[in-house]
Structure 1
């Protein structure tokens, strides 16, 4: 969204017509801003994926209570769990599980 620097009105877009380029124009005053047809990319920047730290570490989960929750990854029937209030108070708590199967160790959550 672009606004007119003169009167502050929302600018409207006009498609290119014959030899006139595309433009933004103000419906209330004579302001016109022509748009170049070619966009120049000056440099490309690689995005680096941020490493996400777990909410609970393995040490936190080792001493937690166990439950008979089925792991969605391996189907093992026991897991350690922790509950925390992430969202607002009127929403239910989020439960984080850690599979007790030594070969799996999968983490998942239920909201």
Structure 2
């Protein structure tokens, strides 16, 4: 897929006819891009998954605490952090870490 550098719309493909080479053209503005005989392969940008920062390190709490029950050890205190992991019109995800020193289980609620 190619997009118009002027207006950002999707470019349309036009077959070669009557001696004119094949080309991409924009339907909304006068932009035209002739297609060369050599094909240039463009590689997409590879996205790197962002690491989630820990919300509790040992005894020191980085985030606030709440009364949430750990699904592993059933301890009733957990540190939490809210993050926007999807689009802005979706609710935030809540990441929890159990404050039981022997457990330390991490889970999330969307």
TM-score bracket for the superposition, by shorter chain length:
0.3 to 0.5
TM-score (norm 2): 0.45
Question: Which one has a bigger Cα radius of gyration?
Answer: 1
Structure that is richer in helix per residue: 1
TM-score (norm 1): 0.45
